[in-house]
Structures are given as C-alpha cells and as structure tokens.
Amino acid sequence: MKLYKLAETYSPKLNLKQTELAIKQIKEIFQLNLSSTLRLRRVTAPLFVLQGTGLNDDLTGIENAVSFPIQDMNGAVAEVVHSLAKWKRVTLAEYNIAKGYGIYTDMNAIRAHEELDNLHSLYVDQWDWERVIDNSERTVAFLKQIVNDIYSAILHTEFTISEYYPNLKPSLPKELFFIHSEELRRLYPEQTPKEREQLITRKHKAVFIIGIGNDLEDGTPHDRRAPDYDDYSTMNEDGYHGLNGDLMIWSDVLETAVELSSMGIRVDKNALLHQLKISGKEERKGLYFHKRLLEDTLPLSIGGGIGQSRLCMLLLKKAHIGEIQASIWPEQMREECKQLNIPII
C-alpha cells in the first residue's frame, strides 16, 4: 500500500455531487465517440468465464484469478475475468462481425493481487473493444491510426466536459507522441522501463509506447504480456518487434504517468505458435480459444481496454481513483487521504 506524493496542496475542482454527475457525462460522451469513430456496437459481457477454456486473460502470467466452484455444474470452476481480450475475439466470430466493424462492452473485474495506491484498485472497470481487421492492416501504421482515433475521442470528451465545468481547463496535447520501447530504451539506457515511462510522458504529456512483451536488445522486455492475445513478436515495418502498446497520460495532480489503455493487433496463427513457444506455454494449444484460432475459426482483430475510472480521474483532475469508484481501501489509506483533503467514496 502506498500513496503518490501530490504535486501541491489538493483541492478537488468538483464537489461530490458534481463529480458523480461528471462521471456519468464522461462515460456517456466517450463511449458514444469511441463507438462511432471505430464503428463498434455494444454487447453484453460476462463477469466470469469457465476455468480451463483459455478465455481468461492471465495478464503478465503471474496473477491468479478470483475463482469459485459452480454448485449446479458438477464442481466446474468459474473465474472472474481479468480482461476480455480473448472472449471478445470469440464474440466477433459468433456475431459474424464484418471487417472494419467491431464491438465494445463494459468490463468489470476483480484483481485481488493489486498493490493499492492512487491508481490501482481491487475493482477494475474498462471499456473493452475489439474490431475485425484485414491481414493487410496488421501493420504499425494501422495501429497508430486506431490509437489516434481513440485519442481524438478522449480530446473531444475533455473539451465537452470543460464546457460543462469551466474550472476543468483542457490540458491534453493535441497530438499523441509515438515511440517504440526499443527506441525508448536507447534514449534512456540507464533507467528502468518504469522510469523511462515517467521521463518520456513527463516530456510529451501523452505518449503511446509500441512493442510491449518482446525482449529488447538488452535481453529484457519493457513489460510482460500474456502470449496469446497481443502480437508483440512480429517484426513491423519500422524494423522493431511488436504490433501493440500502452497509452500513457501525464497527471499534473500526481506528477506521474498514468497507463490509460493497453491495446494491440492480436496474434494470428503464426504469432500465437511463436509466442507460446518462446514463453514456454505450448500446452495451451489444446485449450478452446487456442484451438479455434489455430483452426482459423476466429477473425483477425485489433482490440484493447480503456480504463473508465482512470479516464474520469484524469479528466476531472482527481488525486485518487477512490474519488471515482467505490472499492475497498485500507483504513490507513483512508485516513491519509482524509488528511490530504482527498474525499474517498
């Protein structure tokens, strides 16, 4: 448990009633912009999936999902989702979504392993989205195009909210800065990946770091990714590995980089086999999701997740995610927040 140091004495720009209304407005405005820009239809998502299907996302590979036995299914075990990366791709196939179109949904998850702080909660809420693509669109140029579309939706939402609440002045840069994780390593070779994220995001305020999961030239990855959703190993047209990345936004309130979204072009058959092999997870080839992908019954796609509470937190210039969502916090943290004038829900 920890708290980020605040940049200055904190005074919320909106009171509790205004905050609740603004959260509703941000979510309505952003998802309307996101769905129209990317041509996405809303679908209903599960809170849990069956264990052993390969549908759950194991994130970096070390997190354990919250699970429980299903009494009326002979002891079958359900897992609360970590994300819906693979479930969405199956849903694209089941709904027979055409190329150039996709789906989005509200994803709610429990991540019991999280270290609680201003940005991390036991409760995770995201807009999860997935779109069918053509093989010719499996490029870093197309990835950047989609990322820019999403960032434009964020900018539009920020401006609209500032019209409702004039003391919330727009502060995001008009253009997003792109950099590959290997370029970032070369720029700051003595720093850790997290330190590099801080330095580059402080400088540019809004950054998309491409290539998350594959080993860099020093033999270590910028960060870990599960081997069976994002394509992090394919060589792209820029000469680097990876067709995925993270969107980082600078918080002036906390003076830190905030990961708002993780997204990417998903693995095709070849990338899946390669990434399972290099990660030592080849036994997954027999799971439901992996078999469908290897049998070519799932479409090529691009997708990701966008943090709902984090977006609200950034646009409303809040100091703690607990000002946006109701969750469980240690009593010590609640007391510290109270002393810092941070009203936790």
pLDDT at 55 (0 to 100): 80
pLDDT at 63 (0 to 100): 59
Q: Give the H or E element holding residue 68.
A: strand 67-69
pLDDT at 144 (0 to 100): 98
What is this structure's pTM?
Answer: 0.94
pLDDT at 59 (0 to 100): 54
pLDDT at 282 (0 to 100): 95
The one catalytic residue in 31, 35, 57, 225 is 57
User: CATH homologous superfamily of domain 16-172+259-339?
Assistant: Bira Bifunctional Protein; Domain 2 (3.30.930.10)
The one catalytic residue in 58, 246, 268, 323 is 246
The one catalytic residue in 126, 301, 308, 325 is 126
- Look up residue 295 and give its amino acid: E
The one catalytic residue in 121, 198, 262, 308 is 262
pLDDT at 62 (0 to 100): 54
246 is a catalytic site residue: yes
Instruction: Spell out, as residue ranges, where the chain has pLDDT lower than 70.
Output: 1, 58-63
How far apart, in Å, do the first and last CA atoms of the chain sit?
18
Residue for token pair 């941070």 = 342
Cα 132 to Cα 301: distance, rounded to the nearest angstrom? 4
57 is a catalytic site residue: yes
126 is a catalytic site residue: yes
pLDDT at 194 (0 to 100): 96
223 is a catalytic site residue: no
The one catalytic residue in 35, 79, 89, 111 is 111
pLDDT at 250 (0 to 100): 98
pLDDT at 343 (0 to 100): 95
DSSP 143-180: HHHHHHHHHHHHHHHHHHHHHH-TTS---S-SS-EEEE
Strand order from edge to edge, sheet including 48-50: 48-50, 77-80, 67-69
137 is a catalytic site residue: no
